[in-house]
Amino acid sequence: GVKVAKETINITQGLINQGVNVDKELFDTYMNWLDDDYESNLIFTARSSDPEMEVPLSLAQEVKDRGADTAFIVLSRFSSENIDMEIVDGDFYLTDIELDMIKNVSSVFDKVVLVLHIGSCIDFSFLDECKIDGIIYTNYLGVVGADSLGKIVKGEISPSAKLPLTIAKRYEDYP
């Protein structure tokens, strides 16, 4: 049968649990955006990414001005067995909102880490125009796996494993 955990640790809480400083004002802004428009923002289907909050250049600059020195951008995708990704925006390709977020954040911050909370590959051609200093491929973290992300960020553990997949920069790079 299906079992549902009583408490799942999300990525932000996992970072906080491990002592990583998180911009509370930005986190609260995101949570309010999510809460205010939860029903309209939740267009989750087996073939789409969740909608994402826009991060204009001014918001990225405000967070940096409050003292943040490293930006973490989390991209999520839903995938499952027997559901191939489609070569469309919001699935294999980034949405315009995601691409704008990455461009804006990477133009403001000197250090940018991309966290891929995905179970498959995405297009990485945006790396040609956006400066990303590190990419952490988490796959799906499970109920308490987000604490591990905090340990990785702090350098307490090193996630060196062989992935059972090939990650190409562009769709056309696959054979």
Residue with the two structure tokens 């205010």: 36
Over the stretch 21-58, which tens digit does the pLDDT of each residue have?
A: 999 999 999 989 888 755 555 544 444 566 789 999 99
Residue 64 C-beta-side C-alpha neighbours within 13 Å: 19
Strands (E), 46-173: 70-76, 111-117, 134-137
User: How many Å from the N-terminal Cα to the C-terminal Cα in the chain?
Assistant: 39
Of the two residues 142 and 17, the one the predictor is more confident about is 17
Q: At what angle do helices 96-108 and 57-65 cross, to 10 degrees?
A: 40
Q: What is the pTM of this model?
A: 0.87
Helix (H, G, I), strand (E, B) or coil at 93: strand
Taking the mean position of all CA atoms in its chain, how far away is CA 158? 19
Provide mean pLDDT across the span 103-131.
94
Confidence grade of residue 79 (pLDDT, cut at 50, 70, 90): confident
CA distance 65 to 48: 34
Name residues whose C-beta falls within 8 Å of residue 91's C-beta, 6 or more positions apart in sequence: 47, 48, 49, 77, 85
Confidence grade of residue 135 (pLDDT, cut at 50, 70, 90): very high
